[in-house]
Every structure is written in C-alpha cells, then in structure tokens.
Amino acid sequence: MIQTCPACYRADDVRWSRLPEQMISYVCDDRHEGAGPHFWTAATGSREPTETATAGVTADLLEPLFLCVHEGDPFVEYGVVEYRLRTDFPALFHTHVAERGHSISGHPAPTASSVRFAATLGRLADRGDLLKTWGPATGAWRRNDRVTYWATPSTPPTPRLSWAEFCESIGRSAEWTTTDVDELCSGRPRH
C-alpha cells in the first residue's frame, strides 16, 4: 500500500518502520517548505489509519481521476483532467478544494490541485494505470512553464491535447472565468 504524507500529500519520499503494539512509524523526507521531515504513525492490521495519517489519504481520488483520462484520447494536459474531475465528480472535487484550497484563489501551496490531484495521478502512473509526460502549459495553467500530460497505457506519445485546445473544442475560455474563480474560491460547485 502506498502511504501519502499528510503534510505534503506526496508518496515519493515516505519511509516506514514497524513499531511495537501493531503500529507503523512513517517519515517523509521532503523539505516541507523548510520545516524538514514530517513524522506520523498508523495502526497495522487496520483499514483505518490513525487520525494523524488520515489527512494524507487520497484513495477516494484514485478511481475518479483514472476515469478522467479517457481511452482513445491523446495525452491530455493536466487542466483537462482536473476539469473532468470537477465536472464529472463535483462533490469529491469540491470536498478536496474546500479542505486544501486551489491555486486560483492565491492559496499558498500545497493545494488540492497542486498536490492531492497531482500526487494521485502520480500514484496511478506508478501503478502502470496511466502514462505521464511533460509538455507546455497553456491557458490558465501557463503560470507553470511545463505541466504534466496524461494518457492510458495504449496511447501513442503524440499527438497531445492541450488545455487551450480542449477549451476551444467545448466552447469555453482557456483562462479562468469569473464563474471559475467564484466556484473554486468558495470550494462549492455552482448550480
């Protein structure tokens, strides 16, 4: 089982060791914005982690994010995947945004978008369920120089579908709209 750090929501730097009384000690060696390693414990043999580990669990995102990368699509820019999560699984999306914020609101990292969703996609890639590559960021995502593109394992490496191209195909702006800002800053879907 992959354990995600409750401080940075990443799994890459997490190590563990067994403790007495059916407990596991975890440490994440990430820098955590200068705070250094993060430590926590969880019970073994239990499906329920201790309260300190619960914050990092993103298991509820695995299947929905997998379903947001469609078979037959080319590699799609991260913004396309997040948009599909937002529209296809609005309650789940907005629960995570309400808990961790979204970069659109100027919320400092880590946010649901920058960490939880990205880390979960990374877990899917680590399992071989999705493929990841890097490419240019477009539209509202261009504040990043590069961004991830996602596809199913049977997808050839080209062509790609950027966020801007996707937005054009569905008739919406590739930039954040007032509706996007209102919705993402409130953490609640608009009806």
3-state secondary structure at position 22: coil
- Among 47, 50, 43, 48, residue whose Cα is nearest residue 6: 50
pLDDT of 136 above 90: yes
Residue range 150-169: mean pLDDT, rounded? 93
Report the alpha-carbon distance of residue 105 to residue 185 in Å, rounded.
5
Report the alpha-carbon distance of residue 11 to residue 3 in Å, rounded.
6
Cite the beta strand spans of 29-156 per DSSP E: 38-43, 75-77, 131-136, 146-151
- Please report which confidence band the pLDDT of residue 43 belongs to, taking 50, 70 and 90 as the band edges: low
3-state secondary structure at position 144: coil
Q: Model pTM greater than 0.75?
A: no
- Among 75, 37, 92, residue whose Cα is nearest residue 157: 75
Please give the pLDDT value at position 104.
Answer: 79
